[in-house]
Every structure is written in C-alpha cells, then in structure tokens.
Chains A and B, each alone.
Chain A
C-alpha cells in the first residue's frame, strides 16, 4: 500500500469519523431534550412544557453566544503560519460550554432564590421562567442588531439550531453529562410522576418535594446548557417527543415514557439533522428549521389524534 493510499484511507476515516461524531452528538442531545421535556411536562402538569419554558435554555443560549462574541476573539488561536492551531476546536467548544453553563447556573440560582419571593406554585414558576426567557431573548436580539454584516460575531447557527461533530473530548463530556442527568431524572421518576397530583401525593414517594424540585432544576440546567452549547436552539424536540412517546404507549408507566422519550428524541434529532444536510445539498439548512417544521406538523397530528380518541391527555 502506497503513502497516497494510506492518506486516502485516513481522509476517508476522517469523513466517516465526522459523521459518527455528529450522529452521536445529535443522538445524545436529542435524548437529553426528550427526557427533560418529558420530566418537565409531567412535573409541571403542563403539556406545553419544554426546556425553554423555565428560561434555562434561553439563558444557556445567551451565555454561549456572549462567550463566543466576547471571549473567542481574545484567544490567540492562529499560528504564525496563518493556519489555525490544533487546539482551536477545543477552545471554541470549551468557551461556549463554559458560557452556557455559567448562564444556566445563574438562572438556576435565581430560580432557587426566587422561590417564596416571586413564586410559590409551579404555575408561578413557569411565569417567572417566561420572564427570564423574554429577557434573554431580548438580549440576544440586541446582540444580533449590533452585529455587522461583513464580520458577523454572533453565531447565528446557534440561534437557529445546528448539529456539529464535536471533538472526542467534548463528545465524552456530552455523553457523560446527559447520561448522568438522565439517570438522575430516572431515579426520581416516582416523585416526578406524583408531583402532577400535588405535594401531598408527592410526599408519599419523595422525602421532600422542594428537594425534588431543586434536583430536577439542576439536571434540567445541565442538559439544557449542554444542548445549547453544542447545538444551539433546537426547537420542538423537548416539546413534541414526550407527546409522541405518550401517544405510542399511553398505558405505560412514567419511567417507560421517560426512556421512550430518550430513544425517540435521539431518533428525531438524528433524522432532522440528516434531512437538514441533504434537502438542499450542497447548501445546508439549520437543524432547528427542520425540527420546527416537523414539530409543528407532529403537534398538529397529536392534537388531532387526541381529539379523535377523546382523551384529555394523550
């Protein structure tokens, strides 16, 4: 085998590895969003709940965008030869994740601090989340409006959703964070399922409903920050996937629905990314556009199916 053949094999592997990393990343983020959506919908007893409802996702997105705008340009990432350094990708992902996580932790602390001050019930917590969501959205719009056309510093891809092939280090972080969070949510499934029926029933399954709420917020924050940092704003996956899971197996337990949401979420996001890459090839669509489009159709179909079945909750 000649050197050229070896180079060809290496390049081919680079392309395949790119696809594997990209698909794995989409699957992990999709699974995380599906589980978070399912847990929040059950916990808040709100069919429209998703990671964006509490403002955590918007804040993470804002954090990731801010970090990209203000910190990345400060980093000396170009070699004297004009080529980018090998650490470039590691830095970009690290800075974005640090920004997203910092903002998510900020919102988490604010939500915890606000308990008893700004909200007492989960319904009021949702309202506060909408306030946070609107505030973060306004700041993102402000950044976009201050951006200039020839040197765009705001990563618009993050705002419309974009799946990337992360490096192996960050792929491992994604898998670890989502696996840990999903496992923790699954371990609290009885308390979350009981929360829909009020604190009295919840106490039968959990030591302290407030502790459960705090725990759930922590795991939601972790998954939302990871998803926002690596894929940006992925609309509808956290909202529609739990509905599809319930529609597929209405009589199953909440734990089963959580796992179904994880699997369905992974499939939905991988499929959406596949479509986004191919529908107008060689141009590429933002994956958020595909998930929104498919999500709107799927939500309409779920509503139709619910009305036909005559069930108030699918």
Chain B
C-alpha cells in the first residue's frame, strides 16, 4: 500500500514538471474540450429542432404582459401599440414614443448598450429587443434566465411576423393582427416602379456615407412606393465612397433628421453644405403639398427631401405614417409642375 502511494506521488511529481511536448498536447486537449462543449451544445440544439419549439411551448403561452423590459425604441412602440404599456417596467433612454406615457418608466441605459445589471434589477419576465443587438448582449440575459424576444427588422414581412408572435406572447393577438393589417393596407404595392419611376438614394448617415439599399427595410419602403434605389446591394446599409456618390445622378435624395415630434421639412444647414459638395449642380429643396416647380423637373436637378428619422429608420408601428408620407410625395410627382 505504501509503495503504491509512493508511486502515485512520484507520478504526480513527474506530471507536475510538464515536458514541452506535453504542453502541446495539453493545448490540443484544451481545444478539443472546448470544441467538444460547443459541438455538444450544437448537437443538443440542432438534433431536436422540433422538440426545441415544442419545449418552448410554455414560453410561447402569453406572458400576460407582466414585467417587460424593452431594449429598442421600435419594440417600445410596438408594445405601446399593442396596448401593453402597463406591463412595461423598463426602457432605454432612446425610447421616446409615446413620450408622456413612457416618462414614469425607468431607463436601463442606451439602445444597443443597456446596463444589464439595471435590466436584471427590474426582474423582467421578458426582454424585447431587435435583431440589431449584438448576440453577446443577448446571451448575457439568456444566461440569467430571462426570456428574450427578438423583433425581426430585416424586412417588413419579417417584422409583420414578429409583431404577430409578440402579440401572441403579450396576450394581444387580436390587436397585433389589426396592426399588421393596417401596415399591409398602407403599404404601397410598388406598381409605380415601371411607370415614371424616379431614381433615389436614401442617406442614413451623410458623414459616414451610409445608404439604405434595397436589402433593408428602409429600402423596401422606397421600393414599394415606386422609387428606383441606386445604392449598391452590398448588405443592407452599404458604406460608399465620396467618389461613388459624386458619380451618381439621383433624381431624389432622402435624408433623415429630427427626433420624435420634430416634423421640420427644412433640411439642416450642415446637410445642405455636405450635399452641395457632392452635387455642385442645383439642388432643389421642395415642400410637401406643393407641385414641383420647373426647376425641379430639369434633368440635372437633384431633389432633396428631409424625412423624420423616427418614422423611417425605426421599424415601429408608425411605418404606416411613413408609407402615407411617401404616397403624398408620389402624388405630387404625378400631378406634375
């Protein structure tokens, strides 16, 4: 017995002084263990795709609007539109609509960078976010046992499906169906594309030169309304060079400005000067509800239209107003000078 013990101690001493080849082995072993855990999780997640959905059955039952934290302005607007603001216990600082109703609800930090401790302190039953969120942030919440609902904001179709699912979870299925129906009704059919289509660029960020392409929900709004988007389709929001922009001759340039409540059609001065550097020819800044003047119809004229950013860049229920606003512009175009 004593010999066995001594042998054991000697073996451990030898192991304690790792030889170099052993180091490489340990590294490979560590990598294998980590890969094993990942693959194990993967097989657990993918081998039973149906049970995953089925096992989530208790979670798909309505959470009865109790203790919801919204981490995105669009999500907050949908919750409000579904009539479940009474269950909202937390929001981000950027959630600003409907402003008065949200005022007493505590904030948990900024959109896309909320304070997770603040979120957990609110003891949420469910957190609602958009798919813009970084997976790491969401992972930290799921680790703490919080149910996380993601709004699909890549396409308007996906958004509609997400709203129906959210309605189901919040026990507001009927209201969700109404909202989706309203959105579908207001959404233009895109019939104007072939006849009298105008080329356009939707500038999300003029300083960074980010555009909305046809692959984004923003681009989808304009395509439906009958505009031809000149932005390259390298991703939803491609960044383009100043050289590329100078080479384009869009008939319309849409810029997004102003927060909630701001409905100024006056294009900001810094935007005007930046656009004048890009297209030195005559820029035209029209007002809605007025027919375009002769200058606007000239071939080289670039029409610049300022739109409220919270309506167009936020995939919320107020997209209906965005559709209506664009329909107004199309009506002005059809009326002619």
Contact = CB atoms under 8 A, between A and B. Distances in A.
B162 interface: yes
A89 B24 CA distance: 29
B195 interface: no
A187 B56 contact: no
Contacts of B23: 184, 214-215, 218-219
Interface stretch (B112-120, B246-254, B257-265, B317-325): B112-120
A17 interface: yes
A116 interface: no
A245 interface: no
B136 interface: yes
Contacts of B216: 150
A282 interface: yes
Interface in A95-130: 95-98, 101-102, 105, 108
Contacts of A162: 136
A150 B127 CA distance: 20
B181 interface: no
A14 B125 CA distance: 12
A85 B123 CA distance: 19
A222 B27 contact: yes
Given A152-B132, A152-B134, A277-B117, A98 B112 contact: no
A5 interface: no
Nearest to B38: A94
B148 interface: yes
Contacts of A95: 38
Nearest to B41: A90
Nearest to B113: A284
B237 A150 contact: yes
Interface string B24-57: 1011001101110110011011100100110010
A150 B313 contact: yes
A184 B123 contact: no
Nearest to A277: B117
A82 B136 contact: no
Nearest to A88: B142
Nearest to B313: A150
B27 A105 contact: yes
B56 A83 contact: yes
Contacts of B123: 8, 11-12, 15
Interface string A139-153: 000000110111111
Interface in A160-178: 162, 164-167, 169-170, 173, 177
B111 to A, nearest CB: 11
A173 to B, nearest CB: 6
Given A89-B139, A148-B235, A282-B107, A81 B26 contact: no
Contacts of B34: 94, 97-98, 101, 173
10 contacts: A8-B123, A15-B121, A75-B45, A76-B45, A81-B53, A82-B162, A84-B142, A212-B20, A277-B115, A284-B115
Interface of A: 8, 10-12, 14-15, 17-19, 21, 68, 72, 75-98, 101-102, 105, 108, 145-146, 148-153, 155-158, 162, 164-167, 169-170, 173, 177, 180, 184, 187-188, 208, 211-212, 214-215, 218-219, 221-222, 277, 281-284
